[in-house]
Structure 1
Amino acid sequence: MALDHDAPTAIRAQAENASPKINRQLAGLDALELTVGTKKKPLVRIWSALWPILTAVTIALVAWELVVVSGWREPWVLPGPREVLPKFWETVTTATFWEAMGLTMKRAIIGFALAVLIGGVVGALVSQSWILRRAFGSLITGLQTMPSIAWFPLAILLFKLSESAILFVVVLGAAPSIANGLIAGVDYTPPILLRAGKVMGLKGIARYRHLVIPASLPSFVAGLKQGWAFAWRSLMAGELLVIIGKQSVGTLLHFTREVSDTSGMISIMIVILIIGIAVDQLFGLVDRSIRSRWGLDGASN
């Protein structure tokens, strides 16, 4: 079959004679291809992350003020933002508050770290053994659904009114969610990856470390996020019930309720909410980092 040496010349001639409409369409496609992978400027990314939160806060404050203005409850029972926000600022600018915050965050970090360790080990063992899965799979889910406050009578009997009682409940509240997240991630590992790992000679711990864990990261991160939510709720319940003489965020909330300081009580509740939102944003950064590493961030930009 003879080669047509004039083919490139003919193609160029057809491109030159193409209609302006087609050229514009091709140029638009080229521009779209070039801009899909571009990253937003830092200020634009910060603003795109902040404006939904600011909008939600504004709507919540307006709705709150409308409820107060409606007279649904007495002002001393439900004060409005104009009374609470100055009290909030007064609270967060005291040394006592930051000492209490330090103790609470210390408990949260230690309890969550223990939950990650225990939940990760349990999830890894159960996900790799069908015997353990049949024996403990439903039990892990059952533990996950138990209210954290139900553990406190047992925790107080075992550890009395101590730090260990609080950490016991925090770990039991968070570990099942973390274990279930890892189990779900392993279950949804694509079989083609497992076959590829087998062909490459990955076995035992190496197979789990280099193949299974990276493939299960999205579900595992979701389990970590849910585990933190349970740990934080368990910690707040523990600090309200187990008062051992040290100031914490939970004890500040308890004492403001005892003296009927509603503005102070709502201020502490706002602090608890802000911490929850901040940690959620951190998990969001981790999730976006994973999607970016896997080449999945283009769909979200």
Structure 2
Amino acid sequence: MDSKSNAALKTTGPEAVAEATPAPSVSAPETPRPAANTPTATKRPSPTGLWFRTTGSRYLVRVVALIAAVVLWQLASDNGFNVYINFDNIPAPTAVGSALMTELGGQEFYLHIMHSLQRVAIAYGLAVVIGVVLGVAMGRSKWAEDIILPYIELLRPIPAVAWIPLAILMLPTEQASIVFITFLGALFPVVLNTIHGVEQTNSVLIRAARSLGASNRAILWHVVLPGAMPSIVAGLAIGMGVAWFSLLAGEIISGQYGIGYYTWNSYTLIQYPQIIIGMLTIGGLGTLCTLLIRKACNPLLKWQVKGGQS
């Protein structure tokens, strides 16, 4: 075979066919374009909008409810509503607001508030310390419960007003007697709720901690107290409200300063708007103190699963 036939075979072999066949073109996949009415991304709500959806809307409902009550109060006072409740002698919110502006312009009103806050702080602090200690002791020891609980149950039903004569006879000053009455009012809710919380602690957790070698002190601090904390916090909140109630009774009888004395003195002087100012001040201060107690105790209840409301 000559050189021409060899060249012909080379040009007609598989290599030549491969060279003659064009390589297929590879194109990048096309990205589908979104439709004109399809949102490209979901916008995240702003922190303000998120707060309003979760919490702010609830506060708005509460404020609207209070405003509605004030409007109804104004209408009842203006029209002399007298169906079982007589609004003829009750000052309208406008009169109360005018008297409040006058009181806020002086110094005596603030002096009454400061005296009441000081008494509540001293009495409530003592009630929390003594009440929690006694409640834990009675919840953990049957002997302590049998010895202390009869005194608690015997003294608890006695109203704060009934303690006033004895407090004046026992204690050297009026300040001490008012603090003592306020202390008794706050003590009993704290004690009883602490006992309930300690007794309701899951015994399985206590046995598990003891089987792992935990001491009684470690079980108390790391098992019993955390488990009883929801009941203790409830007792602290209730005790704060009862403390203000008891403070009012003590200041009415034996006080010279304080918001309770201010309210009672306004009644004796026939200053009806000042009576309502004193009542609303007591309610506002009690609500604020209770809110502070709950906020301060929230870090102790992070483990608790919240629920129950729809």
AA at the equivalent of 1:190: N
Deviation string, structure 1 residues 129-184 (Cα, Å, up to 9, x no partner): 11222333343234333211111111011115521101111111111211111110
The partner residue of 2:74 within 65, 82, 88 is 65
**Alpha-carbon distance change, 295 to 134 in structure 1, aligned in 2, over 3 angstroms:** closer
Contact 2:131 2:190 survives alignment (8 Å): yes
Match of 2:101 in 1: 89
- Is it true that 1:110 corresponds to 2:122 in the alignment? yes
Match of 1:6 in 2: none
The partner residue of 2:50 within 41, 45, 56 is 41
Alignment of 1:116-265 (within 5 A): 116-243=128-255, 245=256, 247-265=257-275
Contact 2:226 2:300 survives alignment (8 Å): no
Identity fraction in percent: 27
AA at the equivalent of 1:55: V
**Alpha-carbon distance change, 109 to 41 in structure 1, aligned in 2, over 3 angstroms:** farther
Q: Give, in angstroms, the shift of residue 95 of structure 1.
A: 2.0
Q: Give, in angstroms, the shift of residue 43 of structure 1.
A: 4.7
Contact 1:288 1:297 survives alignment (8 Å): no
Contact 1:119 1:179 survives alignment (8 Å): yes
Contact 1:218 1:287 survives alignment (8 Å): no
Contact 1:88 1:267 survives alignment (8 Å): yes
- Is it true that 1:55 corresponds to 2:64 in the alignment? yes
Match of 1:17 in 2: none
SS of 1:228's equivalent in the other structure is helix
Q: Give, in angstroms, the shift of residue 286 of structure 1.
A: 4.9
Number of matched pairs: 262
**Alpha-carbon distance change, 287 to 66 in structure 1, aligned in 2, over 3 angstroms:** farther
Q: What is the aligned-residue RMSD (CA, Å)? A: 2.8
AA at the equivalent of 2:69: A
Q: Aligned partners of 2:91, 2:214: CA distance in 1, in Å?
A: 62
Give me the TM-score of the superposition, normalised by structure 1.
0.77
Q: Aligned partners of 2:295, 2:161: CA distance in 1, in Å?
A: 31
Q: Aligned partners of 1:202, 1:39: CA distance in 2, in Å?
A: 47
**Alpha-carbon distance change, 55 to 142 in structure 1, aligned in 2, over 3 angstroms:** farther
Match of 2:303 in 1: 294
Higher helix proportion: 1
**Alpha-carbon distance change, 283 to 49 in structure 1, aligned in 2, over 3 angstroms:** farther
**Alpha-carbon distance change, 40 to 215 in structure 1, aligned in 2, over 3 angstroms:** farther
Moved more, 152-161 or 276-285: 276-285
Q: Aligned partners of 2:48, 2:231: CA distance in 1, in Å?
A: 26
Alignment of 1:261-276 (within 5 A): 261-276=271-286
**Alpha-carbon distance change, 108 to 52 in structure 1, aligned in 2, over 3 angstroms:** farther
Moved more, 216-225 or 192-201: 192-201
Alignment of 1:23-38 (within 5 A): none
Deviation string, structure 1 residues 19-58 (Cα, Å, up to 9, x no partner): xxxxxxxxxxxxxxxxxxx998345455234224313312
Contact 1:127 1:133 survives alignment (8 Å): yes
**Alpha-carbon distance change, 232 to 277 in structure 1, aligned in 2, over 3 angstroms:** same
Deviation string, structure 1 residues 114-141 (Cα, Å, up to 9, x no partner): 0011111211211111122233334323
